[in-house]
């Protein structure tokens, strides 16, 4: 594998990025009541970064497309797309949306399955069409989004000035005959027989009336190509595409299944951590992701704070891992909350495949897959909340699942926090970059005001703030924070320093 050591060293002295607000979609007005179904629950850039998808708790997928790509197409021919010094202002616009999932009810288990989108993953585009996977707790769907030309009957190709000249196409000849009645009288009967002579109208030859079909506009059509269902007994927490472009994995609490994109009727169980006796269960799978370039490798994290790297070439059932990444517990530091805050909520591979980024409740950790003795870097995100773990447990905030992401060049990492804040850290050797920003039009504002309505997180179990629990406080810098507003979902543009963050029902875009 190729490491990024030389590039990291070269950027060690790089100055922290100056983040600027770019755009916002779905911004709340003062006093606006936010509907639960509108809260964003998933976000993902495609491989090129020219498209962005979000999913919400109402089961909808919304697509955005970049508009400044065409404007700078000439410039981009001469500049490598991974050049982070361009500093261009990225601009996105709404493209389309569709209803991906509907609420269901499992009558066999008496279980209500909500429509909330848990994850979205882009697949390889083909023939001008976009493909993506979306999943709720139980069902994965494969979508194709393509432009369709809307054709309408515009008019008839008949010249109005000649319309009056059109007469009968064929003439007719009348013949007369008499019917004799019973009383001795007679009645003339007229019969029309078509003649062989065609009588054309005086205005000339008749016009043939045909409709004219004209393409008025193009519209985006989303079509569900396949549904991958009935393969998980527990809630799906992850889906990840393989680099081979043909397969993907889906993970729930106890199992990871391997699918072929073209086959929805069967999947292969490649990881199963379910014990023979459920009372012996000590950990669950929390996140899983394929290696970005090696189609035989994937990693998954657990609720005990470990990351396992597995190689599918070793065995059909990957019940043993190739490498285990976990940090040794400091003697004497164990408490009631130790295992809860150690649970990893999200993992991401770096673009080069050399590093894995993991996010637990308190920290971000960067792991080198060639070194399993411990993380190569640890970034403190919520250390200031350690004195308040009891409050966090009481109001269920300690179970919030924050996502993480890496920049395309691997030099920086980012994750979210409370009060709609997100943090960016430099992970190059010698870097001390640590920036905290707010998901708002003024991202550098540190004093955060409480929003008009809290955005609550729904996980596998409903987590409602208990009456009387304290949901506010101050951090180490004296700035206020609110447990009820949280930035759980964010994504880094694959080739530029651009971030998309989801704060409640609003999508904020930033660039540096």
Q: Using one digit for the tens of pLDDT, what is the confidence trace for 100-120?
A: 999 998 888 888 999 999 999
DSSP assignment, residue 15? P
User: Where along the chain do its domains lie?
Assistant: 5-152+222-328+335-511
| Through-space distance between the first and last CA atoms of the chain, rounded to whole angstroms | 30
pLDDT value at position 332?
72
Choose among 247, 375, 370: nearest CA to 309. 370
Q: CA-to-CA distance for 369 and 4, rounded, in angstroms?
A: 13
pLDDT value at position 244?
95
Domain at 5-152+222-328+335-511: CATH code: 2.130.10.10
Instruction: Give 10-residue mean pLDDT values along the chain (512 residues).
Output: 43 74 88 89 96 97 87 45 55 96 89 95 93 97 91 66 48 48 52 53 60 77 95 96 97 97 96 94 96 96 96 90 89 84 97 96 96 93 94 94 95 95 92 92 61 32 34 52 89 95 95 92
Q: CA-to-CA distance for 62 and 425, rounded, in angstroms?
A: 29
Provide the β-strand partners of residue 239: 250
Question: Global pTM?
Answer: 0.78
Q: Using one digit for the tens of pLDDT, what is the confidence trace for 375-427?
A: 999 999 999 999 999 999 999 999 999 999 999 999 999 999 999 999 999 99
Q: What is the 3-state secondary structure (H, E, C) of 254-307?
A: CEEEEEECCEEEEEEEEEECCCCCHHHCCCCEEEEEECCCCCCEEEEEECCCCE
């Amino acid at each position: 594998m190729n490491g990024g050591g030389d590039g990291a060293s070269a950027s060690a002295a790089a100055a922290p990025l100056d983040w600027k607000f770019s755009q916002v979609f779905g911004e709340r007005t003062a006093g606006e009541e936010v509907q639960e179904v509108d809260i964003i629950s998933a976000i993902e850039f495609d491989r090129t970064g020219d498209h962005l998808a979000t999913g919400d708790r109402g089961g909808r997928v919304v697509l955005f497309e970049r508009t400044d790509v065409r404007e700078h197409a000439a410039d981009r021919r001469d500049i490598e797309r991974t050049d982070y010094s361009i500093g261009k202002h990225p601009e996105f616009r709404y493209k389309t949306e569709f209803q991906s999932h509907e609420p269901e009810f499992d009558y066999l288990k008496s279980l209500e399955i909500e429509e909330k989108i848990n994850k979205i993953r882009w697949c390889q585009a083909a023939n001008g069409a976009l493909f993506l996977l979306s999943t709720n707790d139980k069902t994965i769907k494969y979508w194709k989004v393509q432009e369709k030309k809307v054709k309408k009957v515009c008019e008839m190709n008949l010249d109005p000035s000649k319309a009056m000249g059109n007469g009968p196409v064929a003439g007719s000849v009348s013949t007369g005959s008499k019917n004799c009645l019973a009383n001795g009288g007679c009645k003339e009967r007229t019969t029309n027989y078509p003649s062989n002579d065609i009588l054309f109208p005086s205005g000339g030859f008749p016009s043939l009336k045909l409709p004219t079909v004209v393409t008025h506009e193009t519209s985006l059509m989303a079509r569900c190509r396949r549904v991958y269902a009935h393969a998980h007994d527990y809630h799906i927490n992850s889906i990840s595409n393989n680099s081979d472009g043909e397969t993907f994995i889906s993970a729930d609490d106890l199992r990871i299944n391997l699918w072929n994109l073209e086959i929805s009727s069967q999947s292969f169980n490649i990881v199963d951590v379910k014990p023979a006796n459920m009372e012996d269960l000590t950990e669950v799978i929390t996140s899983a992701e394929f290696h970005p370039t090696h189609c035989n490798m994937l990693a998954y994290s657990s609720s005990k704070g470990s990351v396992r790297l597995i190689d599918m070439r070793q065995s059909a059932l990957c019940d043993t891992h190739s490498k285990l990444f976990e940090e040794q517990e400091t003697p004497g530091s164990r408490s009631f909350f130790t295992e809860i805050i150690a649970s990893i909520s999200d993992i991401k591979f770096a673009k080069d495949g050399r590093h894995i980024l993991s996010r637990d409740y308190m920290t971000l950790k960067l792991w080198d897959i060639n070194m399993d003795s411990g993380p190569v870097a640890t970034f403190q995100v919520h250390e200031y909340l350690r004195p308040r773990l009891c409050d966090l447990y009481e109001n269920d905030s300690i179970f919030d699942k924050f996502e993480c992401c890496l920049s395309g060049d691997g030099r920086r990492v980012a994750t979210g926090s409370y009060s709609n804040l997100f943090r960016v850290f430099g992970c190059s050797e010698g870097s001390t970059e640590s920036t905290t920003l707010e998901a708002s039009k003024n991202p550098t504002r540190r004093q955060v005001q409480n929003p008009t309505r809290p955005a609550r997180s729904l996980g596998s179990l409903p987590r409602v703030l208990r009456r009387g629990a304290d949901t506010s406080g101050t951090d180490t810098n004296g700035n206020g924070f609110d447990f009820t507003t949280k930035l759980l979902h964010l994504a880094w543009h694959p080739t530029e320093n651009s971030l998309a963050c989801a704060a409640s029902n609003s999508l904020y875009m930033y660039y540096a």
